[in-house]
């Protein structure tokens, strides 16, 4: 049964129990990482996912707390003898910078490097990212400080839908992206430019008429404030869950 494992839940400043926000979709035939921080050999081991199964990587936006693990991911795959291609999806803005970053590491000169295919997504709503027998994944631009995408994942066998806001202010694109979803994972970093509070995430969940709201990318450790679940519940009647690292949702 396909599942989503939340690999990190913190905003940009993590603590011991909360890594930066990223997640992995585990299907029968594909294992899809959504953003990449820390070292995925260690992180996926903790999540019980085989590092070698990674088939695809979706990058939501080019902020360090979402993509800083990519160079090490690629280097580790290479050192462990990977031969099969890795597909990387993201906006032009994101992938241009990722290629530049890898250029600084001189990756063109790493001998016998495995194929990496970059799929540049147009900045349009509900663009198909990846479609296969188990899932259909689409992306829409959201409202962050730099170009960023949220995701809608349809699990075909069970007819279930998961949406992920990514880093964003409250915006109509997320309401459309999450419309009628069984689960909306929405950021709750706070009511700053380019971000949303837990209460605002609740507003979006209500307007999108989702089944359940999972809060993510929230302040942790010494920066934790208030009770995000209660704040979201003032705006949304359905179940609200504070995502925790290594939580798994089956679809």
Question: Interface with Zn ion by CB under 5 A: which residues?
Answer: 63, 167
- Minimum distance, C-beta of residue 167 to Zn ion, in the bound complex (Å): 4
* Residue closer to Zn ion, measured from CB, 62 or 155: 62
- Chain-centre distance for alpha carbon 132: 19
* Residue closer to Zn ion, measured from CB, 167 or 245: 167
> Tokens in use for 121?
């997504």
Beta-strand ranges (E) seen in the chain are 3-8, 22-26, 31-34, 54-58, 86-91, 116-121, 127-131, 135-141, 149-155, 160-164, 183-187, 212-216, 240-242, 248-250
Place of tokens 């990449």: 36
* Residue closer to Zn ion, measured from CB, 6 or 77: 6
- C-beta of residue 189 within 8 angstroms of C-beta of residue 195: yes
* Residue closer to Zn ion, measured from CB, 67 or 163: 67
- Minimum distance, C-beta of residue 92 to Zn ion, in the bound complex (Å): 17
- Minimum distance, C-beta of residue 65 to Zn ion, in the bound complex (Å): 7
- C-beta of residue 74 within 8 angstroms of C-beta of residue 114: no
- Minimum distance, C-beta of residue 25 to Zn ion, in the bound complex (Å): 20
């Amino acid at each position: 049964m396909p599942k989503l494992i939340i690999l990190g839940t913190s905003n940009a400043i993590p603590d011991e129990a909360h890594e930066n926000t990223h997640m992995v979709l585990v299907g029968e035939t594909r294992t899809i990482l959504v953003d990449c921080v820390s070292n995925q050999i260690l992180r996926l081991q903790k999540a019980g996912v085989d590092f070698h199964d990674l088939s695809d990587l979706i990058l939501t936006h080019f902020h360090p707390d979402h993509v800083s693990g990519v160079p090490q991911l690629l280097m580790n795959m290479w050192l462990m003898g990977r031969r099969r291609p890795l597909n990387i999806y993201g906006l032009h803005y994101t992938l241009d910078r990722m290629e530049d970053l890898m250029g600084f590491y001189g990756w063109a000169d790493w001998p016998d490097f495995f194929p990496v295919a970059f799929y540049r997504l147009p900045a349009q709503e509900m663009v198909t990212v990846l479609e296969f027998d188990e899932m259909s994944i689409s992306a829409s631009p959201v409202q962050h400080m730099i170009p960023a995408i949220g995701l809608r994942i349809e699990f075909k066998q069970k007819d279930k839908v998961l949406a992920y806001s990514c880093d964003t202010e409250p915006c109509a694109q997320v309401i459309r992206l999450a419309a009628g979803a069984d689960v909306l994972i929405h950021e709750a970093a706070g009511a700053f430019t380019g971000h949303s509070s837990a209460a605002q995430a609740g507003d979006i969940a209500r307007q999108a008429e989702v089944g359940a709201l999972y809060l993510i990318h929230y302040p942790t450790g010494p920066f934790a404030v208030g009770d995000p679940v209660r704040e979201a519940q003032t705006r949304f009647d359905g179940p609200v869950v504070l995502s925790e690292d290594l939580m798994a949702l089956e679809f």
